C-alpha cells in the first residue's frame, strides 16, 4: 500500500474514540466530545477548544495517525501559526511548518 493510500484511509468512529480515550487518559473528559471538538461540531471538551486539543493530538500521535483521524481540510484549518508555535518542542514546530507547507501545495 502506498503512503498516499495510508493517508486517505480514515479510522472508524470506534477507532477514533479509542484514540481519544488514550489521548485524554488523565482527564475526565468524554472521548466522544473530544472527537466532536476536533471535527468542528462541538465548541469545547472540558477546558479544551479545537486548537488546544489539536495541539495535544499532534504532540501525542504520529502524523499518519492524525491524518487518519481528521480530514486534510480540517487539519489545514487547525494547523495555524499559533498552533505550530505553541508546540512544546522546536523540532515539532519545524516538522509541522514543513507539513503545512506541503499540504497547502496539495490542496
pTM for the whole structure: 0.89
Buried (b) or exposed (e) across 67-79, using 16+ Cβ within 10 A? bbbbeeeebeebb
Tell me the per-residue pLDDT of 36-78, one tens digit each, with 9 for 90 and over.
999 999 999 999 999 999 999 999 999 999 999 999 999 999 9
Amino acid at each position: 500500500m502506498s503512503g498516499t493510500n495510508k493517508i486517505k484511509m480514515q479510522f472508524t468512529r470506534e477507532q477514533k474514540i479509542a484514540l481519544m480515550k488514550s489521548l485524554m487518559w488523565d482527564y475526565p473528559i468524554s472521548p466522544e466530545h473530544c472527537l466532536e471538538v476536533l471535527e468542528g461540531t462541538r465548541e469545547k471538551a472540558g477546558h479544551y477548544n479545537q486548537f488546544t486539543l489539536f495541539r495535544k493530538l499532534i504532540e501525542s500521535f504520529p502524523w499518519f495517525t492524525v491524518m487518519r483521524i481528521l480530514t486534510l481540510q480540517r487539519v489545514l484549518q487547525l494547523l495555524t501559526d499559533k498552533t505550530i508555535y505553541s508546540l512544546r518542542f522546536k523540532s515539532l514546530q519545524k516538522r509541522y511548518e514543513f507539513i503545512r507547507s506541503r499540504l497547502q501545495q496539495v490542496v
